[in-house]
Amino acid sequence: MVTVERVDDENTWNEYVNQAIGGSVFHQSAFLEAAAEKSDSDLFLLVGKKGTQPVGIFPVFEVRVGPVTAAVSPPPKTGIPYLGPAFIRDPNIKYRKRSLTEHEFLENCLEWIRTERSPRFIRVLSNPWCDDIRPFQWDGFDVSPQYTHTLDLDRSDSELLASFSRDARTAIQDEYDVEYTIRTGDESEIEYLVSRLEERYESQSESFSLSRAYLEQLYETLPDETIQVYILEVEGQPITGRISLVDDGMLWFWQGVPKPSESVDMPANDLLNWHSLQDAKARGCTKADLSGANTERLWTYKGKFNPTLTPYHEITSSSPSYTLGSRLYSLL
């Protein structure tokens, strides 16, 4: 029998995260607590156990929208692309027994959410490693595919570069008359990147949802070197940059890259992306999440790095009683 309980100790939670398949930087307690504060939500850290053995984790946020509460994972506008449950698997257990345990874990998590919190709406963006979401479907949830781009970094620089499109290879390998440098920044550069990203979003009649204070909080509370800030300078002046995440052998192209603030005769963003990939490889990363697969205007650019289209899922409650909650939540 699988039981579900809350975890209150952040060190205990992070130990479970480190054991879980798909437990990522976004599941770390520091990220979750910052996201809860930013979204003004209540955070519930759920763990499933069979006896004393943990079998899965599921961080859930309770968000209030007017008179309605929603249970979500992740909360909106926190920069978390996907979250949801992550399984802790014993490699010696066969498929049928493992699946029965994981299904019971998910079913009991949903029962806990409904019994303890009674939300009017439930929404989960499951992570790409959560490869069995059938219990949600069998429970009547609507399940829609979403996508990201992943890239294998476990090869030499020359092999990686050779896999890119011709225009990407040319952009990276050509020489340019402009004198430029790419350096690793620190927390002090976050303000510059936020202002540049705000400008980029405003030019598209959108708003950038991550504040300087939120990003600085993550920089300070996540483990050292989790957040990597890169700045590209031309003749000593910053013109663009990016914020990447590095965790447990994985790189995420997270925030950026804004268009250069000055007109320069060089593919600044291609060069910055290539530098980020090389630096991540040097830090031991074997895979990268390039993002951008769900946005029509972005996927062709990311496509020139020859990534793999990797699915994950949007899972939403579909009962008629959830209609109002769904409509209100969409306002967020």
Alpha carbon distance, N-terminus to C-terminus of the chain: 38
Per-residue pLDDT band at 320 (split at 50, 70, 90): low
Total domains in the fold of the chain: 2
pLDDT at 326 over 60: no
Q: What pLDDT, on the 0 to 100 scale, is given for residue 227?
A: 97
* Interatomic CA distance for residues 167 and 270, integer angstroms: 10
- Read off the pLDDT of residues 172-208 as tens digits, 9 standing for 90 and up: 999 888 889 999 999 999 999 999 999 888 888 889 9
pLDDT at 260 over 80: no
Based on its alpha-carbon atoms, the radius of gyration of the chain, rounded to whole angstroms, reads: 21
The C-alpha angle 204, 207, 211, rounded to 5 degrees, equals 140
Domain hosting 110: range is 2-141+317-330
CATH number at residue 265: 3.40.630.30
Q: Are 185 and 242 within one domain? A: yes
Q: Are 77 and 182 within one domain? A: no
pLDDT at 96 over 80: yes
| Class of residue 237 by CB neighbours under 10 A (exposed 0-12, middle 13-18, buried 19+) | exposed
- Read off the pLDDT of residues 294-317 as tens digits, 9 standing for 90 and up: 999 889 999 999 999 999 999 999
Q: Are 170 and 256 within one domain? A: yes
For the record, the structure tokens of 148 come out as: 């990201």
Q: Are 76 and 209 within one domain? A: no
DSSP of 112-130: HIIIII--SEEEEEE-TT-
Q: What pLDDT, on the 0 to 100 scale, is given for residue 327?
A: 57
Mean pLDDT of 231-237: 91
Q: Would you say the C-alpha torsion 120, 125, 130, 133 has a positive or negative sign?
A: positive
Tell me which H or E stretch contains 194. Answer: helix 190-203
Mean pLDDT of 47-76: 96
- pTM of the predicted model, to two decimals? 0.94
Q: Are 196 and 96 within one domain? A: no
Q: Are 161 and 100 within one domain? A: no
- Read off the pLDDT of residues 119-155 as tens digits, 9 standing for 90 and up: 999 999 999 999 999 999 999 999 999 999 999 999 9
